[in-house]
Amino acid sequence: MTPSVSLLRRFDARGYELWLVPALVAAIGGVTLASAGADAGVLRGLVFVGGPLLLLSGLHARLDGYLHARARLSLLPLPLPPARSWAAASGPHRVGLGWTGLFGVATVAGAALGAGVTTRQALGLVGDFAWLWLLAAGLEPVIPAAGAWLGRRFPEERPQRRWQERLGGGWTIPEAVVHLYAPALGVGTAALLAMPGQLWLDLWVDGQAPPIELLVVGAIAGVLAWGLGRVAVLAYARGMFEAVPWVHEAVRTLAGPAVPEEVPRWLLWGRDPMQHLVVRQFWRVTPVPGLRLWALLIGAAWVGLAAAPSVAATAVVVALASAWLVPGVRLRALGPARARLAGSLPLPPSARAGRSLGAWAVLGAPVVVAAAGVVLAWSRAA
């Protein structure tokens, strides 16, 4: 019996990865837009540049399930139709797209109204981003489809093989070269196709008579984007089984040896062994933990030392705090393993159950410091 799509999604559950980075980028974008003033032309330029950056920031997490997820490699030996894998990956993809669109619209609307533009101009800016997001939603499935189709091993005499070798520059294996280019090309294509519709909308907002040609070309671009997205599953089905092993080989090669990043000594204060274990697990299951920690502390110092703190800047610190703390949800899944390890040891009952309040106190200390800096800044400005 073929497993259901909902069952397949359990093998590759996605959580905070779908919204955390877009939320951080949206907060930073809000600060930039709010500082641009009430010049509608400048705001439109920032939306035109910042919209693709916001879409690109969470793209890997949204598309991870199609080819890069561990579940794709683990389930590859099973006789599962590629359409089932596509459907399993498309659910988290849509969730991530929804969060990204929500953050983008909220950021553009809030920053535009805060900058003092008219309601009509604010709606025009929101429309510019919304049209880009809509075309990106149609085109994004083409990216994993292209990765599956062009991420296979071609015979040496084929031109595809020569292009793989020349475009890679030795950075990764030839079969994975397409994954270096496809994400940026996909988002760039969406921005290109969105431009006629955005220009038509901006002229209409300014009270001018926009050319009908812009509206026609924009409509054609919308149909093209969504049409390509609907047929992308066919290319994906042709190449998924051959491309997935090479994707994971490239990831393993780029990752290098499994040497974890050293845990800072101040995070390992005290003598509670369960506290040390939980902190080390947090550090090793969190991508780039040191970067997250320093970004939080620097962001808090930036707000704390600012002459006039703003809501947007505070939102950046909140996003950085989430980026530091939210990965801790993975520790809950490791709780039973910690309990089995500590169950027979002479430890307090909470430690034998795999829990450590001391560890959460240590991990929460940077957030408390950041919050103190923000509160100090606002109390000084009051």
Alpha-carbon span 111 to 28, nearest angstrom? 11
What does the pLDDT profile of the chain (382 residues) look like in tens digits?
566 676 676 677 667 788 888 988 888 888 778 777 778 888 899 899 999 999 999 899 899 999 988 888 888 888 888 999 999 999 999 999 999 999 999 999 988 888 888 889 999 999 999 999 999 999 999 999 999 999 999 988 888 888 888 887 777 888 989 998 999 999 999 999 999 999 999 999 999 989 999 999 999 999 999 999 999 999 999 999 999 999 988 877 664 445 566 788 888 887 778 788 888 888 887 877 888 888 888 888 888 777 677 777 777 888 888 888 887 777 777 777 777 776 666 667 766 666 777 888 888 899 999 888 888 888 876 6
Tokens of 62: 């949204």
Q: What is the pLDDT of residue 256?
A: 47
Helix or strand (DSSP H, E) at 339: helix 335-342
Instruction: Give the model's pLDDT for residue 307.
Output: 62
Tokens at residue 229, please?
């997205």
The pTM for the full model equals 0.78
Q: How many residues are recorded in the chain?
A: 382
pLDDT for position 146: 95
Alpha-carbon span 254 to 260, nearest angstrom: 15
Residue type, 149: W
Comparing CA positions, the residue from 117, 136, 254 lying closest to residue 195 is 136
Q: What's the rounded Cα separation, in Å, for the pair 198 and 200?
A: 5
